Chains A and B, each alone.
Chain A
Amino acid sequence: MGTKDNAVLDQGFDGIEPMVFESQISVPYSWWAGDTATYFLKGLRDEKKIRALKCTSCGKTYIPPRKTCPVCFVPNTEWKDLSGTGTVQSFTIARRQLAAISKKVPVIYALIKLDGADTAMLHYIEGISPEKMKIGMKVQAEFAEDRKGTIQDIAFFKPVKEV
């Protein structure tokens, strides 16, 4: 280091513009969905069916389906078709357009416990004004027209009309 640089350090950086280096982490990644999620996603895409996996040891029915029961530590083996109706366990209305949100805000996110399942899944609620949202309300799945084998093959959940 030359004497000039030392002089700069001695000044305690006063008046020096901090340099910023712009970059990003951008690495392509392919997730192999595994046979369990593949079967589930094909059910959404090809048959508009929401399928859950049941643990035959504790009897719990899991959605999203996964290969093993996290409680019993045994394979989940029994597939079950769910009707697509369920209850809102909790929700939020995203109002600020945060970077991760691809839809235009306000977006309603909810944890939905589908009838026949013991766990809840995350998804959108549409077809209701945000102010009317309530925990405990009944909702049903609305499938997308154009389905590609993703969780978005369910377009959203919408309120079940009170009879």
Chain B
Amino acid sequence: MDKAAIIGVGMTSIEGNKVRDTFADMAWEAVNKALDDAGMNINDIDNVITTSNDFWDGRTISCMAVGDASGAAHKNVSCVEGDGTFGAFYGLTRALSGSYGTTLVTAHTKGSQSVSSLITNAAFDPIYERSLGMDMISACAMQANAYMNRTGITSEQLALVSVKNHGNAKKNPLSQMPLDITVNDVLKSEMISDPLHKLDCSPVSDACCAIIIANEERAAKHKGKPVWIKGVSFCSDAFFFGDRDLSRAPALEQAAKKAYAMAGIKNPMKEIDTAEVYDAFTYQELMWLEGLGLCADGESGRLLEKGEFAIDGRLPVNASGGLLSGHPVIAAGLIRIAEIVKQLRGEAGKYQTKNPKTGVAHGVNGLCGQSHCVWVLGKDK
């Protein structure tokens, strides 16, 4: 792959209810922050990708509705439905196409404006499944059960993910849910769908994130500190749950393998210094870490207990507080990328991890991690 870099990132704070901001208001804020960060103005942007979902936005062709606030007028603007990491993937291919030197990628969600259970229920097959009334939480609870049954990972270990990430959020001023909690607090919180307690689940959130991707030539022209895209890949599993072994994430394993190969990484356990993974539920952080090859299968719980994934641990995971501390659905993966960019530049403030050179950002689309997008980012070209 030709070289490309992320030369600017911007995000709004993540909040439970940004009542004063419309989608476009959030996009305006995030885009301007990203432009400032890159030392650019909107005329330096060659093309725009917006990422959204019509159901979450409550309107059709939702992606076009934030174009104006994203500076897309008179530019080639295109859209991705799904997680922001997939929008960024499309944005990267455009920056590498030779037609555009820079791509602005945005992703936004206002979870506060709708009902997550109804929206995620509508992701199920309308003929065979939807009327049963399952949604994202009951589906992921079923996956958690399958994963715990196969690996022996315990509810206490799941709870510890929540304790860690809500604790990390105390150091991140943009995070929605900084909390001082114990394993016991998690286990005593309301059981929503066995084995997931309330504090095993991410909250409903509003936020927007924007990043600017540039090819090598354009990255050199702007003042921002480029973070280099070393490897990226995505892969998808079957749509019907029953076709999959829900206790495993083969699509993630494949995507990670391809991304590492592209980045020239032979031993991810040793070569990755920091990771931001899609922890919509506590079990997911553990399951995805294994799928990403950042620890051995079934070992994540034990390593978590040893403190290996803490900010000062061997491999800090979700130092920002992760999605458990704020989960704006579509923006979620793009925020993971932006957080790794901050880490690699040494600009993560109080949650800065120790001198990372290579980081992994991870996004998910679909129920129970049907598809995964893996980004390997590096400080050095």
Contacts and interface: CB of A to CB of B under 8 A. Distances in A.
A79 interface: no
Interface residues of B, number: 43
A93 interface: yes
Contact of B143 (A25, A90, A101, A151): A90
A39 interface: no
Nearest to B242: A120
Most interface-central of B126, B127, B141 (chain A CB within 10 A): B127
Contact of A109 (B126, B127, B132, B196): B132
Nearest to A117: B242
Contacts of B243: 62, 70, 119
A122 B145 contact: no
B217 interface: no
Given A25-B55, A89-B246, A96-B190, A102 B128 contact: no
Interface in A114-155: 119-124, 130, 135, 150-152
A13 interface: yes
A51 B238 CA distance: 21
A9 interface: no
A113 interface: yes
Contacts of A64: 125, 127-129, 240, 242
A102 B131 CA distance: 8
A92 B117 contact: no
B142 A91 contact: yes
Given A95-B193, A99-B118, A152-B131, A109 B138 contact: yes
Contacts of B20: 13, 18
A1 interface: no
A53 interface: no
A90 B133 contact: no
A111 B133 contact: no
Contacts, number: 124
Interface residues of A, number: 44
A130 B246 contact: no
Contacts of B269: none
A63 B120 CA distance: 22
Nearest to B196: A92
A72 interface: no
A90 B241 CA distance: 11
B307 interface: no
B121 interface: yes
Contacts of B192: 94-96, 98
A31 interface: yes
A122 B149 contact: no
Interface string A56-86: 0000001110000010000000000000000
A116 to B, nearest CB: 14
Interface string B6-20: 000000000000011
A90 B194 contact: no
B117 A111 contact: no
A99 B115 contact: yes
A116 B73 CA distance: 57
Interface in B115-167: 115, 117-118, 120-121, 125-129, 131-135, 137-138, 141-146, 149
Given A100-B117, A109-B134, A119-B240, 13 more contacts: A13-B20, A18-B19, A63-B242, A91-B142, A93-B193, A95-B191, A95-B192, A100-B134, A102-B131, A102-B133, A109-B142, A121-B242, A151-B131
Q: Which 5 A-B pairs have the closest CB atoms?
A: A120-B242, A100-B121, A92-B141, A90-B146, A98-B117
Interface of A: 13, 18, 20, 23, 25, 31, 33-34, 37, 41, 62-64, 70, 89-96, 98-103, 107, 109-111, 113, 119-124, 130, 135, 150-152
18 contacts: A13-B20, A20-B19, A23-B58, A25-B55, A31-B127, A37-B128, A64-B127, A64-B242, A70-B239, A92-B194, A100-B120, A100-B133, A111-B246, A122-B132, A122-B241, A130-B194, A135-B146, A151-B128
